[in-house]
Amino acid sequence: MYLSSLIEHGSIMRTMRITVVIAENIEDPWRTGLESVPTVELLLQAPASALLSEGAVRSLEVRRITGRDAQHLDELAEPTAGALLLVVEAVLDDASAMGLEDRGIAYADAAGRAWVPGAPRSASVQPKRRRMRTSSIRAAQLIADHPDTTWTEPMLAKQARVSSGTAHNLVRDLLSSNLVQRDGEGTAGVRSRDTRGLRRWLVAQARGEQPYMVSCYIPDVEDLVVEIDGVPLIRSGAEGARLLGVPVVSSIQRRLIRVPVSSGLEDLPARLGGLRTAVGANVVLVADRDRFAASGARLVHGVWVAPPSRIATDLTMEPRGDAASSVFLDLWGEGVL
């Protein structure tokens, strides 16, 4: 009955645009980013979901895909009737996105990339996203790690040690992506609107970092000092996840440790009683020059541990990389570690 009424609705069917109708029982429709797709009109809070294009109406199944399941999109069975829209809680790579488009499956990912049948192929309309500056990443980590906190721009700038302009631009970008929302009117602070999407967006933005790293072997690594000359040794990656009680791998061969120094990393293995080596290494020291791990690090079981958002990003540099990071983000969920 509802689909028939849409067909009879002349104002919709006279246009050449594609209309995506989202049912009122679908949570967080704004995270789909469908409103940014050329030629697409998004209607919310409808009795049922549907896809209207070229004078035809098809029922629309909206299916949420977790970050872990996003690795197996090519195994999804195609819908036998109607249309399928995947709301993917991960950032799709080009190959996965193109594969879905080839099969006529609509999608929207955590970074705002989206497509529906009948719209231009995303490769021709998707602009290259501007990667965040390191100072913006540090500020975004705060919001991702503390989703229930209301962040004013001055508060965000002070705690992340960034300029007021950087804080303003970050808040503007996150608002435009519907990842945060105003907690009041006017210039009120913002808080997370889509915590899962924000965290996956942050990992996608931050993963391009190429830090300076030193592989080494340190005997008795379990008894490694907490600090050296007042500089903290901050566990991150899989080791950090384990210490937070969210293990993502069965065995950790190399512990990733971030060190907030700008120089002197080459001599650190010897000062810790070990030696630099690529063969048989059990520790990877990473220069934390931009204080991604140091900002928000805390003592857990007597050692320094990086904030969860940095752990999620650093996991992408380790064995199992993206898969381990995705599992960590799934287990983290909407809460606070």
CA angle 84, 90, 94 (to 5 degrees): 80
As a whole number of angstroms, the distance between CA 9 and CA 4 comes to 9
pLDDT at 126: 42
pLDDT tens for 268-286 read 999 999 999 988 899 999 9
Percent with pLDDT over 70 in the chain? 87
Degrees to nearest 5, angle at CA 172 with 330 and 144: 25
The CA distance from 139 to 180, in Å, is 13
- Which 3 state secondary structure label does DSSP give 108? strand
Tell me: pLDDT of 96 over 60. Answer: yes
> Which residues contact residue 88 at a Cβ distance below 8 angstroms, ignoring those fewer than 6 apart?
65, 70, 73, 107, 108, 109, 110
pLDDT at 4 over 60: no
Q: Output 154 or 211, whichever has higher pLDDT.
A: 154
- Is residue 247 classed exposed, middle or buried when 0-12, 13-18 and 19+ CB atoms within 10 A define those classes? middle
- Looking at residue 68, what is its pLDDT? 66
Taking residues 18-36, report their average pLDDT: 75
What tens digit of pLDDT does each residue of 177-186 get? 888 998 877 6
Q: What are residue 258's DSSP bridge partners?
A: 234, 286
Q: Which comes out higher in pLDDT, residue 108 or 55?
A: 108
Q: What is the 3-class SS of 183-239, one letter each residue? A: CCCCCCCEEECCHHHHHHHHHHHHCCCCCCEEEEECCCHHHCCCEECCEECEEEHHH
Inter-residue contact 288 to 276 (CB < 8 Å): no
Please enumerate in sequence order all residues whose Cβ is within 8 A of that of 56, keeping only pairs 6 or more positions apart, or say none. none
Whether the per-residue pLDDT at 129 is higher than 60: the answer is no
Residue 15 pLDDT: 43
| Residue 150, CB-side half-sphere exposure with 13 Å CA sphere | 7
pLDDT of residue 255: 95
Model pLDDT, residue 314: 95
Fill in the amino acid letter for 146: H
Most confidently modeled range among 170-174, 195-199, 305-309: 305-309
Cβ burial of 189 (10 Å; 0-12, 13-18, 19+) is middle
pLDDT band at 120 (very low <50, low <70, confident <90, very high): confident
Amino acid (one-letter) located at 153: E
- Chain Cα centroid distance, residue 250: 23
Q: Is 327 in contact with 249 (CB distance < 8 Å)?
A: no
**CA angle in degrees (0–180, nearest 5) for 8-11-17:** 105
Q: Does position 1 have pLDDT exceeding 70, yes or no?
A: no
Strand pairing class (40-46; 18-23): parallel
Residue 9 pLDDT greater than 70, yes or no: no
Rounded Cα distance, 176 and 30, in Å: 11
Distance, CA of 29 to CA of 149 (rounded, Å)? 23
Give all domains of the chain, ordered by start, each with its CATH number: 2-125 (no CATH), 134-206 (1.10.10.10), 213-332 (no CATH)
pLDDT in the model for residue 152: 94
Of residues 191 and 187, more confidence is placed in: 191
Report the mean per-residue pLDDT for the chain: 84
Instruction: Give the integer Cα–Cα distance in Å for 6 and 10.
Output: 8
d(C-alpha 133, C-alpha 296), whole Å? 18
How much is the average pLDDT of 290-299?
94
pLDDT for 128: 43
pLDDT over 60 at 14, yes or no: no
pLDDT digits (tens, 9 = 90+) for 224-258: 999 999 999 999 999 999 999 999 988 888 999 99
